[in-house]
Amino acid sequence: MRNDRETSVFIAYPSRPDDLGATIEDTILVCRTTSRSLHLESWRHNDIAGRPLVTPIRNKIKKARLLVADITSLNLNVTYEIGYAIGRRKRVILIRSKLREIDTDLRRKAGIFDTLGYLDYENSQDLANKLLAIADFSPIKVETKINTSMPLFILLPESKTNWIIHLIARVKKTRLYYRTFDPDEQVILPVMTAIQNVASSHGVIVPFLETDLLDSGPHNLRGAFVASVAHGMGKHVLLVQKHGSDIPLDYRDDVKVFGRQRQL
């Protein structure tokens, strides 16, 4: 039976490498045997038979007071879960293994994780000790006043392919007034800028790039974050991607896939 004073914690981490996941799962066991103050669960414990794969994960984040997310290796699904928790006004703790190399170039270009603090850890006992010491569960404070003059936010990539240009042209024809993040004008997207842009919008459009394009890595990470914050806040969201590219499980059902440009 659950203790009413337990704090529910959902832990997100990438499925690869295997030993990193094993360390996280060992941490959960250590916390459960050490303390009754935290109730930790990971995505591996979801009951998903007969339901969309993302549904139990979103439900666990909604019920949790705290999300702990491993960003040792940047991952689109984990990035989505971080943004979704922030959108749901949950406290988020980022963790990172001190024993592994990190892709500093991708982090720098994406921008969103530059100003969010994180905890370094070496092993499951070290991580368990740090998680059990957490006392502040306050979420990020977000202004929610809607920008009524430009109520639509569009996340643009650096690669302006024909279909991206066509998408913007179609938005203009609808006479919807919009704001954008454009890497040609602002190199990185700080996390608070991303959150505030979503919070002040009625709707958000995120085009996801084909993975063979040069800036697809940082752009799609930013896209996963912006989309998930918008989903967490209950905004109107349009996610679009060209047919032929893989879509992460956490938002696969939400993406509108097109084959021909005129379908936009």
- Residues 35-88 have pLDDT tens digits of 878 889 998 765 444 444 677 889 999 999 999 999 998 899 999 999 999 999
For 242-257, the pLDDT digits (tens) are: 987 888 888 899 999 9
Residue 157 preceded by cis peptide, ω within 30: no
Model pLDDT, residue 122:
95
**Averaged over 168-172, what is the pLDDT?**
95
Higher pLDDT, 26 or 39: 26
**Is the per-residue pLDDT at 240 higher than 50?**
yes
Which CATH topology does 152-263 take?
Rossmann fold (3.40.50)
The per-residue DSSP string of 111-169 comes to -TTSSS-EEEESSHHHHHHHHHT----PPPP------SSS-EEEE--S---HHHHHHHH
Weakest-pLDDT range from 1-10, 19-28, 215-224: 1-10
Model pLDDT, residue 5:
59
Of the candidates 66, 187, 191, which has an alpha carbon nearest to the alpha carbon of residue 136?
66
Model pLDDT, residue 123:
96
Percent above pLDDT 70 for the chain: 95
Of the candidates 218, 212, 222, 215, which has an alpha carbon nearest to the alpha carbon of residue 242?
212
Give the N- to C-terminal CA distance of the chain in Å, as an integer.
51
- Stretch(es) of the chain classified as CATH 3.40.50.10140: 152-263
- Stretch(es) of the chain classified as CATH 3.40.50.450: 7-132
What's the pTM? 0.91
**Is the per-residue pLDDT at 4 higher than 60?**
no
**Is the per-residue pLDDT at 89 higher than 80?**
yes
3-state secondary structure of 210: coil
Model pLDDT, residue 45:
62
Weakest-pLDDT range from 3-7, 32-36, 87-91: 3-7
**Is the per-residue pLDDT at 117 higher than 50?**
yes
**Averaged over 140-152, what is the pLDDT?**
91
Alpha-carbon torsion (83, 84, 85, 89), positive or negative? positive
Weakest-pLDDT range from 15-19, 91-95, 119-123, 180-184: 15-19
Which CATH topology does 7-132 take?
Rossmann fold (3.40.50)
Model pLDDT, residue 246:
82
Rounded Cα distance between 138 and 257, Å, is 37
